[in-house]
Amino acid sequence: MSSIAIRNGISHAAVGGLAGSIIELIMPVFSGEGFDATSQVLKLAIQSALNGLAVVTSSSLIDVDSDSTHGIPFSLGLLYSQDSLRLRIASASTLIQAQIPNLGQKIRARASAVRTSTSM
């Protein structure tokens, strides 16, 4: 049983790494400078969708149902072969963190407007 798990782990990590490398080649090179937030989020969404497609496509190849590794080596191979995915996620996170204070101010302004209009 353990030899099957070892074989599965190695082969699944290789399949994940291959799939991630193909996605990395398809996607444009990450450059966080000079692109607006919408463009960055769109590229992240496209790359995430390609990852989802890779998971669905590879699930029949790696026979997930009988996999004693539960797809973890595949997932790690897929993730660690895509430096641009990690950078896009970090960039989106930074953009979101920068917008949170503005969102709080907008919510407070709307709440004040609602209170003012209902008190009249």
Mean pLDDT of 13-39: 86
Q: Is the pLDDT of residue 33 over 70?
A: no
Mean pLDDT of 34-41: 78
With 0.75 as the threshold, say if the pTM is over it.
no
Sign (positive or negative) of CA dihedral 19, 22, 27, 32: positive
